[in-house]
Amino acid sequence: MTTNLEPSFGGRRVLVTGGAGFVGGALVHRLVAAGARVTVLDDLFTGRRETVPAQAEFVEGSVTDQELVRDLVRHASVVFHMAARNIIASTKNPRDDFEANIGGTLNVLLAARESGPERVVYTSSTSVYGNPRTIPINEDDQVVALSPYAVSKFSGELYCHAFYESYGLPVSVVRYSNVYGPGQRPDNPYCGVVSKFLTSARAGEPLGVHGDGEQTRDFTYIDDAVEATLLAATHPRAEGEVFNVGTGIETSVNQLARLVCTAMERPCEIMHIDRRDVDNIRRRVVNIEKARRMLRWSPQVTLDHGLAKTVEWFLREGFVVSADEP
């Protein structure tokens, strides 16, 4: 079930940083469909201009540009701050990660403190939990940052909390867990594992699984992630809160590879390859009861169904990029 957004966003000015990316683009499409007047700020590091619908205003620029951010936030009633360097780019270049993920977030919050939007939603990541002591992971469980990306995303959360407590800025935080689905393009060198597996399966190449493949994740369909993000922007109880956004279902990467092969309706070979620096989290599955209770949100798309819909989109788009190419 999806929320009727028109009463909340119809005619209102909304800023989405990172709105040319995978999740940001999906959010922008929902907002435009609801009649919102959307402005997208994106530096196109991983985003694509074509992702942004024609009805939205597009500004090419970075959240590291303090004056630009100040000007754009000044005109917005709601701000979705989604711009960030992802985990792979962050690990390669921690300084860029610091400037974009931490400095950019501070720029957004400073601008919002000055102009006073009705809500700022900050998109974080379940990467902040590291290797949890217990499963499933609750929002108030210990944070153990094992990557520069996790450090910067949690730092952004801390700034959000500080601005909420110190200045009364209405902020909500959502922690995404392995979002996948239509729109996650395999020709993006930083795309997720589902897109990489689909590319390999279509090319008739082995599906490369880093390590032994028994590491687990909580895979979240794009529409469910967007729905939770919108509720975090509109629900009065979301202010000042942090919410896990996942499914509560633990899936190993080996299982995911087999499910992708089934969804593609072809036999696949699974090949185990070297573990990467970013593959340092063994198990991840989140408790989503807080979002169920406070936002009345729950995921609607199972992994089987989500993969089927993703395959349909993937084949319709006709991607031909090799799994070994960017």
- Do both 26 and 141 map to the same domain? yes
Q: Is residue 88 part of a domain?
A: yes
Q: Is residue 325 part of a domain?
A: no
- Do both 205 and 254 map to the same domain? yes
CB-count burial class (<10 Å; 0-12, 13-18, 19+) for 195: buried
- Do both 306 and 229 map to the same domain? no
CATH of the domain at 201: 3.90.25.10
Q: Write down the catalytic residue from 129, 149, 159, 176.
A: 149
Q: Is residue 1 part of a domain?
A: no
- Do both 32 and 125 map to the same domain? yes
Q: Is residue 202 part of a domain?
A: yes
Q: Is residue 326 part of a domain?
A: no
Q: What is the pLDDT at residue 325?
A: 41
Q: What is the pLDDT at residue 294?
A: 97
- Do both 286 and 162 map to the same domain? no
149 is catalytic: yes
Q: Is residue 59 part of a domain?
A: yes
Q: What is the pLDDT at residue 300?
A: 97
- Do both 107 and 201 map to the same domain? no
Q: Is residue 130 part of a domain?
A: yes
Token couple for 49: 């201009």
Q: What is the pLDDT at residue 277?
A: 66
Q: Which domain holds residue 255?
A: 180-218+249-317
- Do both 171 and 189 map to the same domain? no
> 170-190 burial, b if ≥16 CB within 10 A, otherwise e?
bbbbbbbbbbbbbbbbbebee
- Do both 104 and 157 map to the same domain? yes
CB-count burial class (<10 Å; 0-12, 13-18, 19+) for 94: middle
- pTM of the predicted structure, to 2 decimals: 0.94
CB 115 within 8 A of CB 102: no
- Do both 239 and 129 map to the same domain? yes
Q: Is residue 4 part of a domain?
A: no
Q: What is the pLDDT at residue 320?
A: 58
- Do both 147 and 35 map to the same domain? yes
- Do both 206 and 152 map to the same domain? no
- What's the number of domains the chain is made of? 2
- Do both 209 and 278 map to the same domain? yes
Tell me phi and psi for residue 247, to 5 degrees: -125, -20
The tens place of each residue's pLDDT in the chain, 326 residues long, gives: 566 777 889 999 999 999 999 999 999 999 999 999 999 999 999 999 999 999 999 999 999 999 999 999 999 999 999 999 988 888 899 999 999 999 999 999 999 999 999 999 999 999 999 999 999 999 999 999 999 999 999 999 999 999 999 999 999 999 999 999 999 988 877 778 999 999 999 999 999 999 999 999 999 999 999 999 999 999 999 999 999 999 999 999 999 999 999 999 988 899 999 877 667 889 999 999 999 999 999 999 999 999 999 999 999 998 754 444 43
Q: Which element (helix H / strand E) includes 244?
A: strand 242-245
CATH of the domain at 74: 3.40.50.720
Token couple for 29: 């499409």
